[in-house]
Amino acid sequence: MTDKKLIGVDLGGTTIKFAILTDKGEIQQKWSIETNILSDGQLIIPDIIDSINHHIEMYGMTSDQFDGIGLGSPGTIDHAKGTIKGAYNLNWTNEVYPVCDIEKGTGLPVTIENDANVAALGEKWQGAGNNADDVVFVTLGTGVGGGIIANGKLIQGANGAAGEIGHVTVDPNGFMCTCGKRGCLETIASATGIVRVARDRASEYAGDSKLKAMLDDGQDISAKDVFDLAKEDDDLALIVVNYVCESLGFVLGNIANTLNPKYIVIGGGVSAAGDFLLNKVDKAMRKNEFATIKDSTKLRLASLGNGAGVIGAASLIKVD
């Protein structure tokens, strides 16, 4: 425990969010800048360095008042080398060196982690994970990401790729996934997956449905539209939502059987569907759970929203 501050940085494809936190996880200052992905994303790291230095100075602080900087980023993290590879939404096609560069630019120690993992750490520390030692986080956004904390530690895996819940196979004969496999959870339960399922089911649906009419009319629909219509008892929308929730519950039930976490937390844009989603997934999850797990693993909605990333990133450099 120190009384020094932490800096959390959440690097995304459109914005970079920053926060200064106490070691107890209270946000004292926060700000954000646009992510400039031009010139192969070469300006991103210099922008992060400038923004941190500028704000430390603006708040009348000095770098020795901080324990360090935690950074959450898309892409594959090499923890030993402090590098990130394959963050395509940042136009980073080659390996980049944020740890070395930001340490040099700010004079502060830097720790990096995958963005889904930092969101998991954030929800564990200050959100729905209630600071439990065993928390699984799944984020339903454009894709499906995940992070696993077991015995109080983030599970990174042999090659830093643990927690890829989005690529658990639900249907070996299902839709093609961007990863090259078929039937990954992401092809069904991500925002894009839900729309894909809706189009697929609509093509063989002959009943009365507003969703069907919208699709037949060539309208653009979103995952939110599908959930909103399901809440209004639209028949096709309910077929889609039930399949999505059954698939999610199938995967989460099996993860619960494997890890017996205290909490499984659902976040990301799709989780805005709220208790309607939670109750359906919970029911499906319980159907796939072993008896002891049913009593001890609880499903919850994420509570930090967009703030999970900076909080989790800051927790990377927290001194216990």
The answer to whether 161 contacts Zn ion (rule: CB under 5 A) is no
Using the contact rule CB under 5 A, the part of the chain among 71-79, 85-93, 120-128, 170-178 near Zn ion is 170-178
Among 167, 201, 212, 280, binds Zn ion (CB under 5 A): 167
- Torsion over CA: 158, 159, 162, 164 (sign): negative
Q: From CA 234, how far away is CA 220, in angstroms rounded?
A: 17
Contact 62, 25 (CB under 8 A): no
The answer to whether 319 contacts Zn ion (rule: CB under 5 A) is no
Identify the residue whose tokens are 């603006």: 58
Cβ closest to Zn ion, residue 182 vs residue 210: 182
Cβ closest to Zn ion, residue 156 vs residue 169: 169
Residues 6+ positions from 64 with CB-CB distance below 8 Å: none
Cβ closest to Zn ion, residue 167 vs residue 212: 167
The answer to whether 179 contacts Zn ion (rule: CB under 5 A) is yes
Using the contact rule CB under 5 A, the part of the chain among 30-38, 54-62, 159-167, 239-247 near Zn ion is 159-167
Q: From CA 73, how far away is CA 85, in angstroms rounded?
A: 10
- Nearest approach in angstroms of CB 187 to Zn ion is 7
Contact 158, 171 (CB under 8 A): no
3-state class (DSSP) for residue 279 = helix
Pairing of strands 110-114, 153-154: unpaired
Cβ closest to Zn ion, residue 84 vs residue 177: 177
The answer to whether 17 contacts Zn ion (rule: CB under 5 A) is no
Cβ closest to Zn ion, residue 42 vs residue 192: 192
Cβ closest to Zn ion, residue 166 vs residue 309: 166
Rounded alpha-carbon distances, angstroms, from residue 83 to 6, 31, 77, 114, 125: 21, 25, 6, 11, 25
- Nearest approach in angstroms of CB 150 to Zn ion is 23
- Torsion over CA: 7, 148, 280, 243 (sign): positive
User: In whole angstroms, what separates CA 174 from the centre of its chain?
Assistant: 23
Q: From CA 282, how far away is CA 211, in angstroms rounded?
A: 25
Using the contact rule CB under 5 A, the part of the chain among 52-60, 112-120, 184-192, 302-310 near Zn ion is 184-192
Among 128, 140, 184, 285, binds Zn ion (CB under 5 A): 184
- Nearest approach in angstroms of CB 167 to Zn ion is 4
Kindly determine how many residues on this chain lie close enough to bind Zn ion according to the rule CB under 5 A: 5
Using the contact rule CB under 5 A, the part of the chain among 40-48, 78-86, 175-183, 291-299 near Zn ion is 175-183
- Nearest approach in angstroms of CB 163 to Zn ion is 14
- Alpha helices of 40-190 — where are they, by DSSP H? 44-58, 98-106, 115-126, 186-189
Using the contact rule CB under 5 A, the part of the chain among 94-102, 130-138, 165-173, 299-307 near Zn ion is 165-173
Under rule CB under 5 A, which residues in 87-146 are in contact with Zn ion? none
The answer to whether 177 contacts Zn ion (rule: CB under 5 A) is yes
Q: From CA 161, how far away is CA 116, in angstroms rounded?
A: 11
List residues binding Zn ion (CB under 5 A): 167, 177, 179, 181, 184
